[in-house]
Structure 1
Amino acid sequence: MRLSRAASWFLLAFGVWSWFIWVSFVRNLWKDGSGLAFDAAGDPTAYFWVHLLLAVASFLLGTAVGVIGLRGVRALRRESRTEAGA
Structure 2
Amino acid sequence: MTKIFEVIRKPLLTEKGQILREANIQVFEVATWATKHQIKEAAELLLQAKVKSIRTVSVPAKAKRLGRWMGTTGSMKKAYIELAEAAAEAAE
Report the TM-score, using the length of structure 2 for normalisation.
Answer: 0.22
Structure label with greater radius of gyration: 1
Structure with more of its chain in strand, by fraction: 2
Higher relative contact order (CA 8 A, sep 6+): 1
